[in-house]
Amino acid sequence: MEEVEKNTLAQLDQLNVLIIDDNLLVHSILKDSLFALGIKEVRCAQNAYYGLRLCDEMHFHIVICAFNVTSDKDGFHLLEELKFKGHVTRTTVLIFLSSETNESLVNSIIELQPDDFWTKPLAINKVRTRLVATLKIKQVLFNVNSAMDKKAYAKAIYFADRHLLNKKLAHFYPYINRIKGEAYLALLEYKDAESFYLELLEHYKYSWVYLGYAKSLLKQGRLDDISAMLATLIDKPDTRFGAHDMMAQYFIEQEQYDTAYEEIKKAMALAPRNIERNKKTWDLARLTHDFKGQYLATLNIAQQAKNSIHDSPELLLNVIRAGIDLGCATTDDSANGILQQTEQYISKFEKECQDTSFFKQQILVVKARLHNVRNEHEKAKKLVENHLSYNPSPVVEDNLDRVKVLHELGMREDAIHLLNAINNQIAGDSLNSQVVRRYIAQESQQREEIHFTAKELNTMAIEHFQKNRLQPALVAIEQALRLSPNNVKLLISELKILIKIKQDNQETPEHEESVERIMTELIKQDLTGKNLIAFKELREKWQQLNKPR
């Protein structure tokens, strides 16, 4: 696609405009406004598919897109695809339309950094005024934006500095400074970025200045210096999402994965559409053994990616896998409902997937794992021994699932061999690679040391406890908690075993410390119903045992 020249944006009669909205009245209002400004070439599309086709055929200087294009894909995913394909760059005038202004939608729109956001119903006069103002900014900043598009960040700073010396452009200084700050951060010049944003704070109180300053310090590991500022940013609606997202990145870099997970969940609640952030949430859920969070993350990815460039059959397959993982980690009767839902997803996958032969091995593995979690080990073993290929797949997730089924069947050497192969598949130094690599290392250690699922270990612990084999019961429940930390039922079971050990006068100082740790964790869990009743009874027993005699 040919590059747009700066002077083209200044000539209204030379501009190509694309309107994507499923409302024909919006087309009419916008076309009247644009024609009145002297713009001659206006194309309209009622759906994303036709909008993409038009972009393949010609270059558009201005793209005006509704957020809620309901016929095929929404505006967020459409604009994401247009950016990915290079149809929309920083030199394109990008305007979003929406009749909604809720926080989740606004945060999602901000992520795509449009030049303006117009709320419906549209007023012709406002359309003209705002479009002219937006075009003027785009003309002034063309060379800076073009440099940013080309990742020539040093050049972008050079152009920005030249513009900042021109007093006639004083009205545009905030826009110019914002791009300059982004360029410093992109160059990893965090000390320069810190000085730059600190100076800006003397003149501007925009949210992006505070977030940029906070990011420049976080990248230097100086969390304590801005803890008070971060608390303020998290309280404000216009900076809340950015602060949580930035903090999640910081804690991942510091390898504080539990804290990173809490932060990214808060960011996800505020802007749920970004697929890459969803994937990061999924990875952190796996790393922190939050099986329910893992399941919900895969469901959200499959839902949000529908009809986007991220959509693929593997997304439903990941939901199925996460459902089985959750079933393995769930120690009460609710596991049955999860597994029934998972079976329905398998049927849906086989029905909707156009090339089931391509996914034959993956389907075989999830069916074998379903047999395993239902204690139908012979059926699972027959499927695996007769049909499963032990050769590593090019896809990491496929290999991980094979590791799990092999481990569940006691074929541990084959499982460890596959884990080693997965390690070689994870390339790069990205934060995502870092998290996945850590997860694989964790899986490798646990698969070597623990030979059963959390559900199986809980069953073993119950049997040992009933026969008064307290130490083996404690070992089994401790292993189960390594696989499923903070599981309320397992924590209550461990507490029950430790109290019985105390009653039998077999306790050690380590046991006493474990009880205090479990009590603290269960208080944090905000228990209800049967769990709360059980905990209160056990806590009372413990207090009675510790009364002076």
- Please give the Cα distance from 437 to 423 (Å, whole number): 7
Give me the tens of pLDDT residue by residue for the chain, a chain 549 residues long. 344 445 567 688 889 999 998 889 889 989 988 898 889 999 999 888 888 899 999 999 999 988 766 555 667 788 888 888 889 999 999 998 887 766 766 676 677 778 888 888 888 888 888 888 888 888 888 999 999 999 999 999 999 999 999 999 998 999 999 999 999 999 999 999 999 999 999 999 899 999 999 999 999 999 999 999 999 999 998 899 999 999 999 999 898 999 999 999 999 998 888 888 899 999 899 889 899 999 999 999 998 888 788 888 899 999 999 999 999 888 777 888 999 999 999 999 988 886 767 888 999 999 999 998 888 989 999 999 888 888 888 888 888 889 888 888 888 788 888 887 777 777 655 556 677 777 777 777 777 788 888 888 888 999 999 999 999 999 999 998 888 887 888 999 999 999 999 888 888 888 888 888 998 888 888 888 888 898 899 988 888 888 776
Please, where are the H alpha helices in 39-170? 48-57, 75-84, 103-111, 124-140, 142-149, 153-164
Bridge-based pairing state of the strands 41-45 and 16-20: parallel
CB burial of 40-57 (b: ≥16 within 10 Å; e: otherwise) equals eebbbbbbbeebbebbee
Residues 6+ apart with CB under 8 A from 35: 42
Cβ neighbours around 222 below 10 Å, total: 14
pTM exceeding the 0.85 threshold for the entire prediction: no
Bridge-based pairing state of the strands 16-20 and 116-119: unpaired
- The full 3-state SS of 190-210, as one line of letters, equals HHHHHHHHHHHCCCCCCHHHH
pLDDT at 21: 87
pLDDT at 147: 94
- Asked whether 45 and 15 are in contact (CB, 8 A), the reply is no
Across-strand partners of 97?
Answer: 66, 118
Cβ neighbours around 341 below 10 Å, total: 16
- Asked whether 16 and 60 are in contact (CB, 8 A), the reply is yes
Please, where are the H alpha helices in 330-453? 334-352, 360-373, 377-387, 396-408, 412-425, 431-449
Sheet arrangement for strand 93-98 = 41-45, 16-20, 62-66, 93-98, 116-119
Question: How many DSSP H helices and E strands does the chain contain?
Answer: 28, 5
Cβ neighbours around 355 below 10 Å, total: 8
